Amino acid sequence: MLLNAMASHAASSSSNPAGLLPSLEKADYRNAMARLGAAVNIITTDGPAGRAGFTASAVCSVTDEPPTLLVCLNRSASVYPAFKTNGVLCVNVLAAGHQSLSALFGGKTPMDERFAAGNWSRKTTGSPMLDDAAVSFDCRVVHATSAGTHDVLFCEAVAIAIGGATQGLIYFDRRYHEIAAPPH
Ligand SMILES: NC(=O)c1ccc[n+]([C@@H]2O[C@H](COP(=O)([O-])OP(=O)(O)OC[C@H]3O[C@@H](n4cnc5c(N)ncnc54)[C@H](O)[C@@H]3O)[C@@H](O)[C@H]2O)c1
Ligand SMILES: Cc1cc2c(cc1C)N(C[C@H](O)[C@H](O)[C@H](O)COP(=O)(O)O)c1[nH]c(=O)[nH]c(=O)c1N2
Residue 176 is part of a domain; what is its CATH number? 2.30.110.10
Which atom of ligand 2 lies at the shortest distance from residue 54's CA? 16
Q: What is the mean pLDDT of residues 110-117?
A: 98
Q: Indicate if the pLDDT at residue 31 is higher than 60.
A: yes
Residue 15 maps to a domain: no
Report how far ligand 2's centroid is from the alpha carbon of 147 (Å): 16
Residue 126 maps to a domain: yes
Q: What is the pLDDT of residue 16?
A: 55
Residue 19 maps to a domain: no
Q: Indicate if the pLDDT at residue 10 is higher than 60.
A: no
CB atoms within 10 A of CB 43: 25
ipTM of the modeled complex = 0.97
Residue 30 maps to a domain: no
- Give the span between the Cα atoms of 29 and 14, in whole angstroms: 24
In this prediction the pTM is 0.92
Report how far ligand 1's centroid is from the alpha carbon of 147 (Å): 15
> What's the domain count of the chain?
1
Which atom of ligand 1 lies at the shortest distance from residue 171's CA? 39
Residue 5 maps to a domain: no
Neighbouring C-alpha atoms within 13 Å toward the C-beta of 30: 4
pLDDT confidence tier of residue 4, bands split at 50, 70 and 90: low
* 26, 29, 33, 108: residue to mutate for ligand 1 pocket, most atoms within 8 A of CB: 33
Q: What is the mean pLDDT of residues 122-145?
A: 98
Q: What is the mean pLDDT of residues 127-146?
A: 98
Q: What is the pLDDT of residue 3?
A: 45
Q: Residue 164 sits in which domain range?
A: 37-180
Residue 149 maps to a domain: yes
Residue 80 maps to a domain: yes
- Give the span between the Cα atoms of 45 and 79, in whole angstroms: 9
Q: What is the pLDDT of residue 148?
A: 97
Could you tell me the CA-to-CA distances from 99 to 7, 33, 92, 179 in Å, in that order? Answer: 40, 20, 13, 13
62 vs 16, more confident: 62
Residue 32 maps to a domain: no
